[in-house]
Structure 1
Amino acid sequence: MSQDAGTDSGSDDTTGAAGDYRALVRSSLDDPEGFWGAAAQELTWIHPPKTVLKDRAPFYDWFPDGVLNVCYNALDRHVIDGRADQLALIYDSPVTGTQRSYTYAELLDEVARFAGVLRDLGVSKGDRVVVYLPMIPEAVITMLACARIGAVHSVVFGGFAPAELAARIEDAEPVVVVSASCGVEPTRVVEYKPMLDEALRRSSHQPQHCVIVQREQALAELGETDLEWSQLMRPGAIAPAECVKILATDPLYVLYTSGTTGKPKGIVRDSGGYAVALRWSMSNLYDVQPGETWFCGSDVGWVVGHSYIVYAPLLTGATTILYEGKPVGTPDAGAYWRLIQDYGAVAAFTAPTAIRAIKKVDPDAALLAGYDTSSLRTLFLAGERLDPDTWEWATQALGVPVVDNWWQTETGWPITINPVGITLLPIKPGSSGPATVGYDVQVLDPSGQPTEPGVEGAICIRQPLPPGTLPTLWRDDERYVSSYLSAFPGYYLTGDGGYVDEDGYVFVMGRTDDVLNVAGHRLSTGSLEEALAGHPSVAECAVIGIRDALKGQVPRALVVLKAGIQLDEAGTAALQAELVDRVRAEVGAVAALRQVDVVDGLPKTRSGKILRKTMRQIADGDEAVVPSTIEDVSVLDGLRGVLSGPDRSS
């Protein structure tokens, strides 16, 4: 793999590499059966598939006659093949001062025994298990134990409010819920058991049992149907469970994401297609090979945690780091660099928000100098748009390629990325890279016609989607079609807007409802935010479109300053004027940006997405929908007065 973090200027050798990769992507689209049939050979099958792709348009089945077990592929086969003593899972928890490691043999033992526990509690193939746990090893063990016996796990982010947890319990109808007495945050302990009890009180469905991991930071009072993890997992207390045979099309998990109707959408993940796609992606896209160590700074409650903390690294035979902490504050902005140093991670994956948080606290990367991060080959960022300023800061600080990638809960793995494990293509700041193998990405205008290069539109994917993507929604084929497939027949609607340039690089400019319409001119929030973020005083920013009687909408900017920058009233006014001028110079006068507010923080989901829609609703005086995934509601509360205050744009 080339280590040259080139820019879009290109060169003769990278032009050749780009052409080769385009040819590979084209082959995956022209002959999906051949491409993915070959990729499937990286797994161990009980009955290898004879059929690679079954067309039931608008539905598609990958490897429909194949039989395998995902847990066997993640653990057993590595133990059999000589990796028994290699580390599989490293648990690092600065919030509790705990570190613990599991070899492949040790993790297999834990998983097989807890799979036996679930089996003896009445969980069988096809049954659901809701997982409501913090970032502790028991979360990974439970997920893999479900996969071992063919149960369908549904992980709910630890600490979710009772109403949201209840909605997921009602929809999934679990036989067992696995939870903990508490989660540990940098400044507080969050008791989970009372929230679980309240969720069950609200739910019409009642699980047969709740298994509770007791943590010393806050012990839970157990009820009649509650069982304690440590008691169930006593040595010799349970016979371990063997792997069961699973059809490739059987669901591995259901992961809920927010829906426009208020009812969460249950994204279904199949077993075989997902395992094939993740195994292929780990080596070819992320350049992580068997035996290497990888750090993904996400949470198992999110799709990134499912795919790249748990399944992809273990299917590969790599070592994965499970981190119970934050990018800053546990104890400082050097936390990620310590993990890379201490465990020799060759690659890291986190959200741009995490890097912006580090940059805000440590703008000169002074803490990085205290750690040896020489093992790191690549930093991957995803979860929201990566602005060029954040990309440049991370690239300069780390001295390695910083690679954007774009995908969704629905797709399960990257739609676009620079394929580092195949070849490092020229990096174009602001782009998440070219389309990945298997994804026929098209930008469509409102009539459904492809746009010209550089022209924005709705980013769509021509069907069939590749393996690993959602085959449907949980028990709701009709909603799957209406939500994703009805806008442009034959295409999956991503809900994101952007454009593709002449080299095939995709530029995702934001959700389609983040597109501004200023006096008939369509502008993406991403282009305005890119201009603002380039100012040396700005740590992060957000642009929203607010209603205007004359122009339809006008943009309004909210900016957070870098740590240590203190401005008086005159200094703030000067900065606001500079930012307005930057947008005018880089985007054009048509952007009509007049109002810039300097704020202490931006409201975000726990996965780092900025709540632009919610802020826009407040500014417009509408009833604001605050998603259950909000990280800190006090940040939004602190902005209400700013957003609903007088318009100072005139």
Structure 2
Amino acid sequence: MAESFDVKLESKTYVPDPSYKEASNIGDYNEAYNHYLKDPDAFWEGMAQELTWFKPWDRLKEWSHPYAKWFVNGKTNITYNCLDRHVNSERKNKVALIWRGEEEEQERIFTYRQLHREVQRCANALKSLGIKKGDTVCIYMPLIPEHIVAMLACARIGAVHSIVYGGFGASALNTRIRDANAKVVITADVGYRRGKRVPLKTIVGDAVINAPSVEKIVVLRRTKPQLELVSEMEIDYHELLQNASKDCEAEVMDAEDPLFILYTSGTTGQPKGIVHTTGGYMVGTYYTSKYVFDMKENDVHWCTADPGWITGHSYIVYGPLAAGATVLITETTPDYPDPGIWWRIIEEFGVTIFYTAPTAIRMFMKVGEEWPNKSNLDTLRIIGSVGEPLNPEAFDWYHRVIGKSQCPILDTWWQTETGMHMITTMVGEPMKPGFAGRPIPGIQADVVDKEGNPVPPNVGGLLVLKEPWPSMMRTVHNNDERYRQYWETIPPYYTAGDLAVKDKDGYIMVLGRADDIIIVAGHNIGTAEVESALVSHEAVAEAAVIGKPDVLKGQAVKAFVILRLGYEPSEKLRNELIYHVRMGIGPIAMPSEIDFVPSLPKTRSGKIMRRVLKAQEMGIDPGDISTLEE
């Protein structure tokens, strides 16, 4: 872990129009934050009381470091709060979900009433397959309404969902199915990406070969003529739902009952299954949707993530629906059929809140302003970014070209593990490009040295969270020791694994990972997972992987490979290894460069020193190399 170090900070400031602060749901940041600090428990109780509970909690929290329980003995169901609460109010016929396919004429709309009915049918369909409270269902689907229906249907009956991003290959899917012990996999025959079909069902077929827990595969067939269902495990999605009743009571869930497992890359090669529970996660995502995104009744909210990532769980599905928002989803990629597609969608649907990744913003910068300038973006009220730090150049461009120098930018810092936003600049507050901002009310964050002492302003250190919060993960599935590491690295704090620096006003700039995670286009890739994939090729003896700065993706994967005896470096082998990683993990993890090397820098205990490779690659001083073997 890094020591503290000096950082030169730029401090340009943008102040939004005062009307934003006046109309914001949270009001003045300093007042709201001080109100929270005066009585943290009352702050969180107030948030939770805005939602529906079947039975109120006995105690707000139990904290026995590093384990927390929130809303102890409270009973609720997250789908009751996302659906029934609105269906029983004047929002019954409000649009909950808008879907836009890759083709412009493909469009589907669900009101809260319609979505509620569809979720209940899907929930009953899952019950008919023997799925009950506590069972795990794996969802591997494209970004279509049924993906969200399936998620909510699991939560409705208390089944734990484990969503795997549709860009992952068979071996990554297999690892996640086996670790979660999934009984049913819900998929589609194909996804559409840039005009091409992604054969999801075929990938699932390969992934379940060595996954004995899987009893059924539910397939949503989109293509005409319909793809044949071959094995007796496979069931047609529509036929299954056709016979299901549209009435399904929401299962009474304890606040601490698990809601989902979501796998994120680890540094050990084994993806970590982050476990989130019902009550705290519901309160955290509702609170941040309503108060950080400042959601109003007539907002159209578009988060461009996929439900396969935590951003999709928290800010496409659970948070915005709990807040009663209208949510837009689309299968379109930002540059197909041309780089104007997203701006046309914003104009067409009147999007007011737009939340995307810095990698998309940098791609748009590269192709030029003429694309967004062709569309009317006047409906935009708030724009945000997620996944990695938003560099100052991208911030300036986003603010000027997309936000027309008006919209506040929410540059949000948070993690799969935190479940919700932790640090940002609340709507209406002064914004500083390059800085995520300050901890939101409800959160205590700081920058410390490795002994846990706060470092002075302008000195880099490690980002920590000082107090538990409701939407924190509860454990790492099948690996509680890994969970404890987050809280035991710099006790008693939660260590995020990020380097950061704070300025004199308390604004935090996140500098990047302190461990071996590469963030490619907002997706966390574990170096060890890519290394394992490379070493599984017959030609590779050893591999090391680093992240290199990349103008478009933020970071790109670079691999250093030692070949086995009898194999020679060649362009053909290089391409073969890139393809091998693609098939094992998916396109996002593909190395952009591979160097064939005779040896790798290692410590005397045999650990590869990736920072030495990184320093060498970037032409900088590698720092202390006293533990280097040679």
| TM bucket, shorter chain | 0.7 to 0.9
Question: Mind listing any 5+ residue stretches in structure 2 that lack a counterpart?
Answer: 1-10, 520-526, 528-545, 563-568, 570-576, 598-612, 621-630
Deviation at 1:24, TM superposition (A): 2.7
The 2-side partners of 1:648 and 1:463 are apart by 37
| Aligned residue among 140, 143, 150 for 2:148 | 140
Q: 1:229 to 1:647 in 2, by over 3 A?
A: closer
The 2-side partners of 1:67 and 1:647 are apart by 54
- Contact 2:120–2:245, Cα closer than 8 Å, also in 1: no
The 2-side partners of 1:7 and 1:377 are apart by 22
| Aligned residue among 508, 511, 520 for 2:510 | 508
The 2-side partners of 1:187 and 1:267 are apart by 33
Deviation at 1:402, TM superposition (A): 2.5
The 2-side partners of 1:201 and 1:290 are apart by 47
- 1:469 and 2:466 are equivalent in the alignment: no
Specify the code of the residue in structure 2 equivalent to 1:477: D
Deviation at 1:467, TM superposition (A): 1.1
The 2-side partners of 1:263 and 1:458 are apart by 24
The 1-side partners of 2:476 and 2:220 are apart by 30
Specify the code of the residue in structure 2 equivalent to 1:512: A
Q: Secondary structure at the match of 1:269?
A: strand
User: What's the counterpart of residue 342 of structure 1?
Assistant: 348
The 2-side partners of 1:444 and 1:28 are apart by 22
Q: Secondary structure at the match of 1:496?
A: strand
Q: 1:640 to 1:360 in 2, by over 3 A?
A: farther
User: What's the counterpart of residue 183 of structure 1?
Assistant: 191
| Aligned residue among 442, 445, 449 for 2:449 | 445
Q: What are the Cα deviations for residues 408-430 of structure 1, in whole angstroms up to 9, with x where unaligned?
A: 1111111111111xxx1111000
Q: 1:225 to 1:402 in 2, by over 3 A?
A: same
Specify the code of the residue in structure 2 equivalent to 1:610: Q
Q: Secondary structure at the match of 1:122?
A: coil
| Aligned residue among 390, 414, 425 for 2:421 | 414
Question: Mind listing any 5+ residue stretches in structure 1 that lack a counterpart?
Answer: 1-5, 516-524, 527-543, 545-554, 561-601
Q: Secondary structure at the match of 1:55?
A: strand
Q: 1:397 to 1:629 in 2, by over 3 A?
A: farther
Deviation at 1:191, TM superposition (A): 0.7
Deviation at 1:557, TM superposition (A): 7.2
| Aligned residue among 290, 314, 319 for 1:312 | 319
The 2-side partners of 1:66 and 1:557 are apart by 47
The 2-side partners of 1:60 and 1:648 are apart by 42
Q: Secondary structure at the match of 2:213?
A: coil
Deviation at 1:382, TM superposition (A): 1.1
User: What's the counterpart of residue 170 of structure 1?
Assistant: 178
Deviation at 1:288, TM superposition (A): 1.3
User: What's the counterpart of residue 569 of structure 1?
Assistant: none
- 1:391 and 2:336 are equivalent in the alignment: no
- Kindly report the root-mean-square deviation, in angstroms, between the aligned alpha carbons of the 2 structures: 3.3
The 2-side partners of 1:60 and 1:97 are apart by 48
Superposed counterparts of 1:61-80, under 5 Å: 61-80=69-88
Deviation at 1:30, TM superposition (A): 4.8
Q: Secondary structure at the match of 1:333?
A: coil
| Aligned residue among 372, 378, 396 for 1:374 | 378
Q: 1:159 to 1:559 in 2, by over 3 A?
A: closer
TM-score by length of 2: 0.80
| Aligned residue among 88, 92, 100 for 1:84 | 92
Q: Secondary structure at the match of 1:443?
A: strand
Aligned identity (percent) is: 37
Deviation at 1:202, TM superposition (A): 2.4
User: What's the counterpart of residue 631 of structure 1?
Assistant: 587
The 2-side partners of 1:19 and 1:293 are apart by 21
User: What's the counterpart of residue 564 of structure 1?
Assistant: none
Superposed counterparts of 1:223-622, under 5 Å: 223-234=231-242, 236-238=243-245, 240-329=247-336, 331-361=337-367, 363=368, 365-398=369-402, 399=404, 400-420=407-427, 424-464=428-468, 466-482=469-485, 484-513=486-515, 560=551, 610-611=555-556, 614-615=557-558, 617=560
Q: 1:434 to 1:617 in 2, by over 3 A?
A: farther
Q: What are the Cα deviations for residues 19-38 of structure 1, in whole angstroms up to 9, with x where unaligned?
A: 95234324434522111001
Superposed counterparts of 1:33-44, under 5 Å: 33-44=41-52
Where relative contact order (Cα < 8 A, 6+ residues apart) is larger, the structure is 2
The 1-side partners of 2:17 and 2:210 are apart by 63
Deviation at 1:270, TM superposition (A): 1.1
Q: 1:12 to 1:78 in 2, by over 3 A?
A: closer
Deviation at 1:336, TM superposition (A): 1.8
Specify the code of the residue in structure 2 equivalent to 1:56: S
User: What's the counterpart of residue 213 of structure 2?
Assistant: 206
The 1-side partners of 2:46 and 2:324 are apart by 19
Specify the code of the residue in structure 1 equivalent to 2:72: P
Specify the code of the residue in structure 2 equivalent to 1:316: A
The 2-side partners of 1:324 and 1:34 are apart by 41
Following TM superposition, the consecutive aligned residue runs of length 4 or more in structure 1 with deviations greater than 4 angstroms are 9-14, 16-20, 555-560, 616-619, 623-630, 637-644, 646-650
- Contact 2:118–2:246, Cα closer than 8 Å, also in 1: no
- Contact 2:95–2:109, Cα closer than 8 Å, also in 1: yes
Q: 1:386 to 1:491 in 2, by over 3 A?
A: same
- Contact 2:79–2:156, Cα closer than 8 Å, also in 1: yes
The 1-side partners of 2:352 and 2:331 are apart by 20
| Aligned residue among 132, 146, 166 for 1:158 | 166
Aligned length: 547
The 2-side partners of 1:258 and 1:149 are apart by 28
